[in-house]
Chains A and B, each alone.
Chain A
Amino acid sequence: MQNTPNMPNRVSFTEEMRKDYTILVPNMLPVQLGLICKIMANYGYKMELLDSEGPAIVEQGLRNVHNDTCYPALLVIGQLMDAIESGKYDTHKIALIMPQTGGGCRASNYIHLLRKALEKNGYGYIPVISLNFSGLEDNPGFKITGKMMIQVAYGLMIGDLIMMVANQCRPYEVVPGSTDKAIEICVRTVAGRFTAGRLIHYSEVKALFRFVLDAFAKLKLDHASPKKKVGIVGEIYVKFSPLGNNNLEKFLLSEGAEPVLPGLLDFCLYCIYNSVIDAELYGRSTKKAMGYKMAYQFVLKKQDDMIKIIRQHGKFRPPMGFDKVRRMSNDIIGPGVKMGEGWLLPAEMIELISEGVKNIVCTQPFGCLPNHIAGKGMMRKIREHYPDANIVAVDYDPGASKINQENRIKLMLSSAE
């Protein structure tokens, strides 16, 4: 990929800044991102995951971002602006970080919208780090090495596991709050193993998998009354973030359902595999694709290990192997659909359905471009292939009222089995 010829000078994150700057991270997934922030501390980065919520975030977003831009941009930028203006930080000692996939969806532009917002408010001096793996922008003070990446991947996998088993416990917990307690214990223990400047070995990761499973297995659960399982798929931010989806998980729990969420690892694997597909379909950068294929297989192998461990443990439902998920999606949508969540979205729906989770909420920001195709556009076909699929599409945006969204979900639940 070429460098953008016509981008004006931006503020870099320098080696110097690394020493005493705090990097603010917008929240999407508290467990996984929280773990990753802690791992990054090993490499000398002080990262802080924002946990703010409330109407001020949307207000900030509305004021600072073009209102026709998608809702996640509004929330992410709103949360960062809200933090900057909270008075909690020395604005000359903070940096911001924003993921950038470089895909054909407008989400790749969030970082620029953020910079515009900073500029407009007189914070043009705050550096914004692009978290990307496609060489879009780089910063002298923020380098991701191969080793780091592997550590982060491990953290991510454990984070996914914690979320997954927690979701399987929470609806049935006998002691209210015990699941969240278990999450806390796991996160603390896992983070402790990752920090203090040491690298973690894969054997330890596997031990941690077992530790997490055991921790949750200790919870007292009541499976006497079966709950309806409801899958949550969709645009990555609104799918995961309670801020983005009006506390969808909580709502489903209150309706007596068990929410099921595919992990964040799926999205990473999807992004990695797209480069392989580009080479296959168009003969684009075949050499690079080889590297990606190796990375893909490396992670796949680890996921496979995790699934085996869950199976051996016997108490929880493991996820489906990603490569199987990927191949199953080919019946529904072409593998070339790679903008936004692309083919991953129908793939996750099929994964859920074939694992017995027939009820699905497909979440997206209002007017989400890729989801016209991969989300709403594929539902008819998925229903043709899987007649008992019970899917509802729900749009999120700053003006949409919660009652409307909940009513639609209730309708889905009323015909759920």
Chain B
Amino acid sequence: MSIFLGIDIGSTTVKLVAVRAGEIIYKRYERHFSKVREKACDMLRDARGIISGEPLRVAITGSAGLGVAKASGIDFVQEVFATRKAVGKFVPEADVVIELGGEDAKIVFLSGQLEERMNGSCAGGTGAFIDQMAVLLDVTPAQIDEMSQKAERIYTIASRCGVFAKSDIQPLLNEGARREDVAASIFQAVVNQTLTGLAQGREIKGDVLFLGGPLFFFKGLQKRFQLTLGLDDSHAHFPELAPFAIAAGAAQYAGDSTSREYGFNELLDILEKTAGETVIAQTLRPLFVSREEYEAFRARHNAHDVMTENVTVYEGDAYLGIDCGSTTTKMVLIGEDNQLLYHHYASNKGNPADVIREQLLKLRELCGGRVHIVSSAVTGYGEALIQNAFGVDHGLVETVAHFKAARHFCPDVDFIIDIGGQDIKCFKIRNNCIDNISLNEACSSGCGSFIETFARSMGYSIEEFCKLGLFSTGPIDLGSRCTVFMNSSVKQAQKDGAGIDAISAGLSVSVVKNALYKVIRAHSPDDLGQHIVVQGGTFLNDAILRSFEQEIGREVTRPAISGLMGAYGAALHAKANVPAETGLLSAHELLGFAHTVKSVRCGLCTNHCNLTINDFSGGRRFISGNRCERPLGKGEQQKLPDLYTWKLERMKSYGAPSEHAEGKTRIGIPFGLNFFEMLPFWHTFLTKLGFEVVLSDVSTRDLYMKGQHSIPSDTVCYPAKLMHGHIENLLAKGVDAIFYPCMTYNLDEGRASNCYNCPVVAYYPELLEANVAALKGFDFMMPYFELTDHKQFAKQAAKFFCKKYPRIKKSQVAVAAEDAYAALNDYYEEVREEGRKAIQYADTHGLEIAVIVGRPYHIDPEINHGINQLIQSYGMVIVSEDAVWQLAKAPEVHVLNQWTYHSRMYGAAEYVTHKENAQLIQLVSFGCGIDAITTDEVRAIVEGGGKIYTQLKIDEINNLGAAKIRIRSMLAAVEEGRKLAKHA
């Protein structure tokens, strides 16, 4: 009798199962730490005692198993296929299987039409994602699970991929959210990701079988799945077999489909032989070819040092700078000669307040009576929290802090790049003023914490890990996209047998390439500048610094305190702005310092912000998570003109219940995409034809969730995804029909070579009709209309409506169309009039104008996440692109200008260059392909006119942190520029 052996080699683990006569006689699950082939051999050797006596039939499966199978000639079985085998054999009643592995997520629908799906190239891993999050929280994955069981609430964490989630979690931690809640929210994000990314419209019901390591080990994750899917215990299956299921399936396959039999020693021999082979596809040039070269490099960089003096020796006034970053906290104390008296650099372990309190206590003690801290400043992610908690005198935006520090080391500095744990920041310096800030957007953050997470998962510290790569002879080319893609590339390299040194060096190069080509989008070293200062903790690693110099082919300045530059800049700022008396907590106050955190939901407006309330001893309080001033209890501030709010209210008015509606056919209109501008038209048109128009509700997160199950393409923009929710919302309102026309063309405003809508706006109704199950058999009207030619439209509309509703006369359609055109025109006039008023208000009150350029649907509060309120809180008047584009002549553009909405942005940009107190802010929805073209053009127009270009990328993530940095940096730069202009 032979034994069937299944070996499942995944991205992080190897599983081995042996089956004899249908019984599992042996099973193992172990992490391979990227030593894939060696581990497989080890595990086979361990099983010798049980399986060596009989002939073996073997199949290999798993994402990293293909290479082994190919090299060894052993049969390979695709893993979803193996899963199906296992289920059929071991849990036959299952209707649906959900399987989460290290980096793959799969779903198999068994009953009904068989369907198998795997996560797309954009969806981040799941097991590896939880590992990453564990590092972020500084706990083990098992501890996350424990913590999650004590959760009281769930935060919204982006579910698309790991990087997105991370940028949601970090601010939560920094703002003091309960870690238990965060842990449970992480699991919920995994659940959401699985359901949106994989199920895609197919309902998950009946008996659901959960497989794979994470779903077996994490009880908290199990609970989230059960709650979300509404499964009771009898329908949710979490079998003992879960971690081994695929290996068991492979064993099953080996029994059914292979005939080749191996003796134990023969098999081991084959595997051992292949373990020795390495096949590497593409390698990069080494970082250093010799130790001498490395030493010369070290010596050159060591020259940029800072004067130091021991705090225990120094006497006199001193200035404190704190940089409370996303993963680390930095603190420096400087003396009268800018010399470094004391510094500290530590991971903030999820709670920066504790770390800072401890350090301040220590510092106060060291200072004794000799050193007097007379001024203090804080910068970074946690700026507001720390400033409030410890009575720090000044807060400044981190870009400004970095600039101040860089200028100290390199007075001619014209380019600064800072790669920190979670952020890449870089900016140019023009006329002594910050200009052109680039921050990494959520999708491209392959920065420090990525390497760190990776290093830790391999059992190294980041420093050790980076060092491994210094002398690698052939660094692996891992590409330059987001973390998720890199993870897969690493997986591939491991599969190919790459060594850890090659991976380490390859990762260093990737991080640098990511920063250069993705964030800065540099073309040549001259694009950056002549005098480049690099900083941030990540650059402390020589491998990364070296990759950077190699990539741009130019030597750069790395200050010895590279990791402390933010704090040093803050200290310099504190020194330049000494208050009459510092508010910094004394040693005594620090001893009695207490900090409690609670979270509540704000009920003061429809935003329903999740507020985190930090209470400190002495009755001080800090509230975060708010998008406006109201919960801060400062009373109603004076409302500045805001066209975003005005337009939204104007559009919402079409949702008011209409009079004399009895007996009329109720036609629903989804309140999204181009309806944000076309509502006046269609509402008037349909009403005049004798229908009652019903508008779906204003978008909310809940509304989105209601429709997310039918989204077929997970990389489409958020505004489009929201449409699914609007359709569900209308159906729930019991409308008789839904009207949503397809519109290839938009209105021709005479500024562009054509008047297209973008493909998504144009044809989304087609997609809804094909994917929203509830629309089947429902009256969903999606005729193709074009509005430019009034007569043609009336003709085409009559064709459609008179045929469908015989009561409607052709002449009636013509009249309704003219009324509709008039209503739209009135709306345009009103927008322009409101714009004029707002601009006038700003001019007479000496205020800045923020011209927000985007699309009509960006006024949707669920799309812009209240960015307009945030901008307004900095004292700016808000005007939208459609109110000003016609005020300037059409600028010269270097791209095909053929989309109506996009064409307006060019005009608005031109307007900004002619208006002294106007600043441009471009809103870009993640995934908007056309904005990849418009952003460069808008930037060129704005910068050509001597203004600063600011871009805010928005997505389903509700995190305004990056937006804040950009807006504040922009305002600081504007102010600085004005100051300089005055002096000149």
Q: How many residues of A contact B (CB 8 A)?
A: 81
Q: Report the nearest B residue to A401, measured CB to CB.
A: B488
A383 to B770, CA, bound (A): 11
Residues of B within 8 A of A338 (CB): 744
Residues of B within 8 A of A111 (CB): 896
Minimum CB–CB distance from B256 to chain A (whole Å) comes to 14
Q: Report the nearest A residue to B793, measured CB to CB.
A: A282
Taking a contact as CB atoms under 8 Å apart, the answer to whether B933 and A115 are in contact is no
Q: Which of A23-31, A210-218, A353-361, A404-412 contacts B (4 or more CB under 8 A)?
A: A404-412
Q: Which residues, 251 to 296 on A, are CB-close (under 8 Å) to B?
A: 278, 281-284
Looking at the complex, which one of B201, B757, B927 makes contact with A380 (CB distance below 8 Å)?
B201
Taking a contact as CB atoms under 8 Å apart, the answer to whether A104 and B753 are in contact is no
Residues of B within 8 A of A383 (CB): 113
Judged by a CB distance under 8 angstroms, whether B393 is at the interface is: no
Taking a contact as CB atoms under 8 Å apart, the answer to whether B742 and A336 are in contact is yes
Q: Say whether, besides A372-B720, A395-B120, A333 and B766 are in contact (CB < 8 Å).
A: yes
Taking a contact as CB atoms under 8 Å apart, the answer to whether B929 and A106 are in contact is yes
Taking a contact as CB atoms under 8 Å apart, the answer to whether A63 and B933 are in contact is no
Judged by a CB distance under 8 angstroms, whether B116 is at the interface is: yes
Taking a contact as CB atoms under 8 Å apart, the answer to whether B929 and A68 are in contact is yes
Q: Which residues, 855 to 906 on B, are CB-close (under 8 Å) to A?
A: 890-899
Q: Which of A5-13, A32-40, A298-306 contacts B (4 or more CB under 8 A)?
A: A5-13
Taking a contact as CB atoms under 8 Å apart, the answer to whether B488 and A403 are in contact is yes
Q: Which residues, 53 to 70 on B, are CB-close (under 8 Å) to A?
A: 63, 66
Q: Which of B137-145, B297-305, B682-690, B783-791 contacts A (4 or more CB under 8 A)?
A: B783-791
Looking at the complex, which one of A2, A5, A379, A403 makes contact with B890 (CB distance below 8 Å)?
A5
Residues of A within 8 A of B121 (CB): 366, 395, 397, 400, 404-405
Residues of A within 8 A of B480 (CB): 62, 398-399
Judged by a CB distance under 8 angstroms, whether B22 is at the interface is: no
Taking a contact as CB atoms under 8 Å apart, the answer to whether A414 and B766 are in contact is no
A254 to B405, CA, bound (A): 58
Taking a contact as CB atoms under 8 Å apart, the answer to whether B898 and A282 are in contact is no
Interface centre among B713, B796, B931 (most CB of A within 10 A): B713
Taking a contact as CB atoms under 8 Å apart, the answer to whether A112 and B894 are in contact is yes
Judged by a CB distance under 8 angstroms, whether A50 is at the interface is: no
Judged by a CB distance under 8 angstroms, whether B756 is at the interface is: yes
Q: Say whether, besides A113-B895, A407-B63, A373 and B517 are in contact (CB < 8 Å).
A: no
Taking a contact as CB atoms under 8 Å apart, the answer to whether A410 and B488 are in contact is no
Taking a contact as CB atoms under 8 Å apart, the answer to whether A109 and B895 are in contact is yes
Over the window 98-120 of chain B, the binary record of Cβ atoms lying under 8 Å from chain A Cβ atoms (1 yes, 0 no) is 00000000000000011010101
Residues of A within 8 A of B932 (CB): 66, 68-69, 106
Q: Which residues, 781 to 821 on B, are CB-close (under 8 Å) to A?
A: 782, 784-786, 789, 792, 795-796
Looking at chain B's contact residues, the main secondary structure is loop
Taking a contact as CB atoms under 8 Å apart, the answer to whether B116 and A381 are in contact is no
Chain B interface residue count: which class?
Answer: 35 or more
Over the window 58-79 of chain A, the binary record of Cβ atoms lying under 8 Å from chain B Cβ atoms (1 yes, 0 no) is 0000111011111000000000
Judged by a CB distance under 8 angstroms, whether A145 is at the interface is: no
Minimum CB–CB distance from B326 to chain A (whole Å) comes to 24
Q: Say whether, besides A283-B796, A339-B763, A397-B481, A67 and B744 are in contact (CB < 8 Å).
A: no
Judged by a CB distance under 8 angstroms, whether B4 is at the interface is: no
Q: Which residues, 385 to 402 on A, are CB-close (under 8 Å) to B?
A: 387, 393, 395, 397-402
Q: Say whether, besides A104-B898, A372-B713, A398 and B753 are in contact (CB < 8 Å).
A: no
A116 to B939, CA, bound (A): 14
Q: Say whether, besides A282-B784, A376-B712, A404-B488, A112 and B896 are in contact (CB < 8 Å).
A: yes
Looking at the complex, which one of A136, A369, A398 makes contact with B760 (CB distance below 8 Å)?
A369
A379 to B120, CA, bound (A): 15
Q: Which residues, 486 to 534 on B, are CB-close (under 8 Å) to A?
A: 486, 488-489, 491-492, 495, 517-518, 521, 523
A8 to B488, CA, bound (A): 43
A380 to B772, CA, bound (A): 10
Residues of B within 8 A of A4 (CB): 752-753, 896-897
Judged by a CB distance under 8 angstroms, whether A182 is at the interface is: no
Looking at the complex, which one of A106, A116, A373, A413 makes contact with B767 (CB distance below 8 Å)?
A373
Judged by a CB distance under 8 angstroms, whether B485 is at the interface is: yes
Taking a contact as CB atoms under 8 Å apart, the answer to whether B81 and A414 are in contact is yes
Q: Report the nearest B residue to A55, measured CB to CB.
A: B282
Residues of A within 8 A of B754 (CB): 1, 102, 104
Residues of A within 8 A of B762 (CB): 104, 337, 339
Taking a contact as CB atoms under 8 Å apart, the answer to whether B495 and A403 are in contact is yes
Residues of B within 8 A of A410 (CB): 78
Judged by a CB distance under 8 angstroms, whether A225 is at the interface is: no
Looking at the complex, which one of B113, B521, B763, B892 makes contact with A66 (CB distance below 8 Å)?
B521
Taking a contact as CB atoms under 8 Å apart, the answer to whether A373 and B78 are in contact is no
Residues of A within 8 A of B898 (CB): 102, 104, 108
Q: Report the nearest B residue to A407, measured CB to CB.
A: B63
Over the window 112-125 of chain A, the binary record of Cβ atoms lying under 8 Å from chain B Cβ atoms (1 yes, 0 no) is 11011000100000
Minimum CB–CB distance from A213 to chain B (whole Å) comes to 37
Residues of B within 8 A of A1 (CB): 753-754
A108 to B792, CA, bound (A): 27
Minimum CB–CB distance from A230 to chain B (whole Å) comes to 15
Minimum CB–CB distance from A362 to chain B (whole Å) comes to 11
Taking a contact as CB atoms under 8 Å apart, the answer to whether B713 and A366 are in contact is no
Taking a contact as CB atoms under 8 Å apart, the answer to whether A380 and B771 are in contact is yes
Taking a contact as CB atoms under 8 Å apart, the answer to whether A282 and B933 are in contact is no
Taking a contact as CB atoms under 8 Å apart, the answer to whether B756 and A380 are in contact is no
Minimum CB–CB distance from A156 to chain B (whole Å) comes to 25
Taking a contact as CB atoms under 8 Å apart, the answer to whether B770 and A380 are in contact is yes
Judged by a CB distance under 8 angstroms, whether B423 is at the interface is: no
Q: Say whether, besides A336-B742, A367-B927, A414-B81, A402 and B766 are in contact (CB < 8 Å).
A: no
Looking at the complex, which one of B122, B489, B795, B933 makes contact with A366 (CB distance below 8 Å)?
B122
Judged by a CB distance under 8 angstroms, whether A105 is at the interface is: yes
Q: Say whether, besides A6-B897, A69-B933, A411 and B517 are in contact (CB < 8 Å).
A: no
Residues of B within 8 A of A2 (CB): 753
Judged by a CB distance under 8 angstroms, whether B207 is at the interface is: no
Judged by a CB distance under 8 angstroms, whether A312 is at the interface is: no
A405 to B485, CA, bound (A): 12
Taking a contact as CB atoms under 8 Å apart, the answer to whether A282 and B767 are in contact is no
A315 to B751, CA, bound (A): 56
A232 to B715, CA, bound (A): 22
Taking a contact as CB atoms under 8 Å apart, the answer to whether A369 and B892 are in contact is no
Q: Say whether, besides A377-B770, A378-B770, A108 and B488 are in contact (CB < 8 Å).
A: no
Looking at the complex, which one of B715, B771, B796 makes contact with A282 (CB distance below 8 Å)?
B796
Residues of B within 8 A of A281 (CB): 784, 786, 796
Q: Report the nearest B residue to A284, measured CB to CB.
A: B786
Taking a contact as CB atoms under 8 Å apart, the answer to whether B759 and A340 are in contact is yes
Q: Say whether, besides A55-B282, A369-B929, A398 and B118 are in contact (CB < 8 Å).
A: no
Residues of B within 8 A of A404 (CB): 121, 488
Taking a contact as CB atoms under 8 Å apart, the answer to whether B929 and A70 are in contact is yes
Judged by a CB distance under 8 angstroms, whether A197 is at the interface is: no
Looking at the complex, which one of B766, B786, B892, B899 makes contact with A337 (CB distance below 8 Å)?
B766
Q: Report the nearest A residue to B201, measured CB to CB.
A: A380
Q: Report the nearest A residue to B899, measured CB to CB.
A: A104
Residues of A within 8 A of B118 (CB): 407-408, 411
Taking a contact as CB atoms under 8 Å apart, the answer to whether B771 and A381 are in contact is yes
Known A104-B756, A278-B744, A374-B766; 8 more pairs at CB < 8 Å: A104-B757, A369-B929, A380-B771, A387-B113, A401-B491, A403-B63, A411-B81, A411-B116
> Can you identify 12 A-B contacts, CB atoms within 8 angstroms?
A5-B753, A6-B751, A6-B890, A7-B892, A55-B282, A70-B929, A106-B929, A372-B715, A380-B770, A408-B118, A414-B78, A415-B114
The 10 A-B pairs at the shortest CB distance, nearest first, are namely A399-B481, A104-B756, A377-B767, A68-B932, A399-B485, A282-B786, A381-B770, A336-B784, A4-B753, A399-B479
Give chain B's interface residues, CB within 8 Å of chain A. 63, 66, 77-78, 80-81, 113-114, 116, 118, 120-122, 200-201, 282, 477, 479-482, 485-486, 488-489, 491-492, 495, 517-518, 521, 523, 712-713, 715-716, 720, 742, 744-745, 751-754, 756-760, 762-764, 766-767, 770-771, 782, 784-786, 789, 792, 795-796, 890-899, 927, 929-933, 935-936
